A and B are shown apart, each in its own frame.
Chain A
Amino acid sequence: MRETPVFSDKDMDRAVSRIAHEIVERNHGVEGLMLAGIWTRGAPLAHRLAGRILSIEGKEVPVGVLDIGLYRDDIGRSSRPMVHSTEMPEVVDGQKLVLVDDVLFTGRTIRAALDALIDFGRPRQVQLAVLVDRGHRELPIRADYVGKNMPTSTKEEVQVRLLEVDGIDEVVLLREGA
């Protein structure tokens, strides 16, 4: 596998900052706003966004973690992923909820996340923030906030690495072969 760096730690920091500003702008503040990170890497990203929003607006935004293992559409087709606990800090009814994930690809993860979310109540609105949109959608899903649009081939793989999970902040593109 050949590895090409796409995003440095500084690039990532700027993207998170910009998305935080966009979220505040689009929602006219943070009233009734809630973030939900998708396990694994969406969770630390959601916390970073909340931190950035706090420094912009001076208000705390609640952050939840969604695990979509029990909502996947490929159970029995691929090996079983480890499931983790979902934690929603507050009632989601009537809230404007921003789903946060690292990479948007086929859209199937987001489809599952929407199902998981709706089991917790009826948010007023659901928006989607991703660090990287790499294309190749298999479902009619789009992101409201994108850190970087990255056209890729299906033979490539995009890996987001985060300090909290991987010990480093970077985005790389992996290609088959030397």
Chain B
Amino acid sequence: MPSIVKEENKRLKTSLVDGTRRHLLDVDDFTRDEIDLVSKTSDAMLEVLARDIKKVPTLRGKVIVTLFYEASTRTRVSFEEAGKLLSADVINVSSSGSSVEKGESLLNTVRTLQATGADLVVVRHQHSGAPYFMARNLESMGVINGGDGWHAHPTQALLDVYTMRRHLGPIGGRKIVIVGDILHSRVARSNLWALTTEGANVVLCAPPTLIPQEFLSGQHRVDEHPLSTVEIETNVEMALDGADVVMPLRLQLERQESGLLPTLREYSKMYGITRERLDLASKDALLLHPGPMNEGVEISPDVAHGSQSLIEEQVRNGVAVRMALLYLLVGATKREETKAEIQ
């Protein structure tokens, strides 16, 4: 990249720290300071969640729309709860029951939402890049990516990092093992960016058919690559050795039909996180799962509900982190330069 372009990008860089970031599309451009700010703000939000009266007037008069083109429990409900606890008005739109069913385009749907005066939209879409497309075409409304295709799920990554930090302190140098369908996982992709920014040692573990080709062929192992420290291990026992955090991913049942796996049972036998396997990790290793779980496939029920499991805490922290993000994003300074973040 010619240096003049680099300089230009630096000038256009938006940040939560100075209130210039209006959209949350992914965490690939997040700095450590921004992750820090989200974590510290989330601490204050957790305190609000622990009160008898858990409501503060912060976003009174702001309108937040959740626009979900794909099924979701956790993300949608926690955004709705987060918005309501901050006193924003939250409107839920799903593809069924709205004009989307009549064939309205994504662009027209979001322009309509903007025209109604909404301040922020949280979108989940089956196509990677849909939130970027929306952000490019909106003037006054902010966009939070609530999961797009296989591409990104930034709020999940931020809540995972927050959960780890609450238990481990700084996570730089910690060994974090993500096990499962990396290839199709937006959770894994966003976590890779957030965790490497925090300086963690990330190990991806899966059958070769479920690991992205760039990683499998070692193309990322060059110094300038931002993910050059990420390690690949196809043997789960080797991967888990000494791990500080273990994060199995949901194995989608369709993967078997598409021929990427022989059978679910075989996957479970080779890669499922069981008591015995978790014991290979460091003592008191943390167990996270982005949900929803297929118990008995990628995770056995006894560890999913065992003492090392933080799965329910992740959901609670998810509300706090989303409150923090709404607080930091709604009403951010509008400026021309924010165009840089949507390129």
Task: Give A60-83 interface residues, CB cut-off 8 Å to B.
Answer: 67, 69-72, 75-76, 79-80, 82-83
Given the complex, which residues of A lie within 8 Å of B40, measured CB to CB?
A: 82, 84
Question: Which range contains the number of A residues in contact with the other chain?
Answer: 10 to 19
Contacts A70-B44, A70-B327, A85-B47; A79 near B333 (Cβ below 8 A): yes
B328 near A80 with CB under 8 A, answer: yes
Is B303's CB within 8 Å of the partner chain A? Answer: no
Contacts A70-B48, A120-B51; A82 near B59 (Cβ below 8 A): no
B58 near A75 with CB under 8 A, answer: yes
Q: What's the least CB distance linking A88 to chain B, in Å?
A: 9
Q: What's the least CB distance linking B238 to chain A, in Å?
A: 41
B56's nearest neighbour on chain A, judged by CB, is: A70
Given the complex, which residues of B lie within 8 Å of A67, measured CB to CB?
A: 44
A-B contact count (CB 8 A): 50
Is A40's CB within 8 Å of the partner chain B? Answer: no
Is B57's CB within 8 Å of the partner chain A? Answer: yes
Is A115's CB within 8 Å of the partner chain B? Answer: yes
Contacts A75-B331, A80-B327, A82-B37; A69 near B44 (Cβ below 8 A): yes
Q: How far is the CA of A86 from the CA of B43 in the complex (A)?
A: 10
Q: How far is the CA of A70 from the CA of B328 in the complex (A)?
A: 11
Is A166's CB within 8 Å of the partner chain B? Answer: no
Tell which of A72, A76, A84, A86 has the most Cβ of chain B within 10 Å. A76
Q: What's the least CB distance linking A64 to chain B, in Å?
A: 12
Q: What's the least CB distance linking A118 to chain B, in Å?
A: 9
Given the complex, which residues of A lie within 8 Å of B43, measured CB to CB?
A: 84-85
A71 near B58 with CB under 8 A, answer: yes
Q: What's the least CB distance linking B59 to chain A, in Å?
A: 7
29 contacts between A and B (CB under 8 A): A70-B44, A70-B48, A70-B57, A70-B58, A70-B86, A71-B56, A71-B57, A72-B58, A75-B58, A75-B331, A76-B330, A76-B331, A79-B19, A80-B19, A80-B327, A80-B332, A82-B37, A82-B40, A82-B41, A83-B41, A83-B44, A83-B45, A84-B40, A85-B43, A86-B47, A87-B47, A115-B57, A119-B51, A120-B53
Question: Which range contains the number of B residues in contact with the other chain?
Answer: 20 to 34
A115's nearest neighbour on chain B, judged by CB, is: B57
Given the complex, which residues of B lie within 8 Å of A71, measured CB to CB?
A: 56-58
A119's nearest neighbour on chain B, judged by CB, is: B53
Given A76-B331, A80-B328, A119-B56, 5 more contacts at CB 8 Å? A67-B44, A71-B57, A83-B327, A84-B43, A85-B46
Given the complex, which residues of B lie within 8 Å of A80, measured CB to CB?
A: 19, 327-328, 331-332
Task: Give B19-58 interface residues, CB cut-off 8 Å to A.
Answer: 19, 37, 40-41, 43-48, 51, 53, 55-58
Q: How far is the CA of A85 from the CA of B331 in the complex (A)?
A: 22
Q: How far is the CA of A115 from the CA of B47 in the complex (A)?
A: 16
Given the complex, which residues of A lie within 8 Å of B58, measured CB to CB?
A: 70-72, 75
Given the complex, which residues of A lie within 8 Å of B37, measured CB to CB?
A: 82
